[in-house]
């Protein structure tokens, strides 16, 4: 009987972690979309004016349009994969909470 309570607590912890990870996945998606859009705009500006245009982050690193676009696309892919994994884990944890860990 005591083990069922422990299992339910573990499933509840997993559910909370799933909510946190889904929030992080959403943040990654928004950041990736922003970086992809900004990278595309930098490429358009560079082509229009014939000069290299760079974006500088808070650490002083400079990114050109191609680098920023590629980085944004990788962030988008990571967020989609993470959200898919979180959804699977969430489903298994929810099933465990509802069925008390029984098969």
At 62, phi and psi to the nearest 5?
A: -105, 135
Q: Does 101 have pLDDT greater than 60?
A: no
pLDDT at res. 43: 95
Q: Does 98 have pLDDT greater than 70?
A: no
- C-alpha angle with apex 44: 42 to 47, nearest 5 degrees? 110
For residue 55, what are the β-bridge partners?
Answer: 63
pLDDT at res. 94: 79
pLDDT at res. 80: 96
Asked if 26 contacts 82 with a C-beta cutoff of 8 angstroms, the reply is no
What does DSSP assign to residue 19?
A: H
Q: What is the pLDDT of residues 12-71, one digit of tens each?
A: 888 899 999 999 999 999 999 999 999 999 999 999 999 989 999 899 999 999 999 999
pLDDT at res. 78: 97
3-state secondary structure 23-90: HHHHHHHHHHHHHHHHHHHHHHHHHHHCCCCCEECCCCCEECHHHHHHHHHHHHHHHHHHHHHHHHHH
């Amino acid at each position: 009987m005591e083990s069922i309570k422990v299992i339910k607590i573990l499933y509840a912890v997993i559910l909370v972690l799933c909510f946190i990870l889904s929030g992080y996945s959403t943040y990654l998606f928004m950041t990736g979309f922003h970086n992809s859009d900004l990278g595309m705009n930098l490429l358009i500006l560079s082509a229009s004016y014939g000069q290299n245009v760079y974006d500088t982050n808070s650490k002083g690193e400079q990114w050109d349009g191609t680098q920023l676009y590629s980085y944004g696309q990788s962030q988008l892919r990571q967020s989609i994969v993470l959200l898919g994994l979180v959804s699977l884990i969430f489903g298994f944890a929810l099933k465990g909470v509802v069925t008390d860990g029984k098969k």
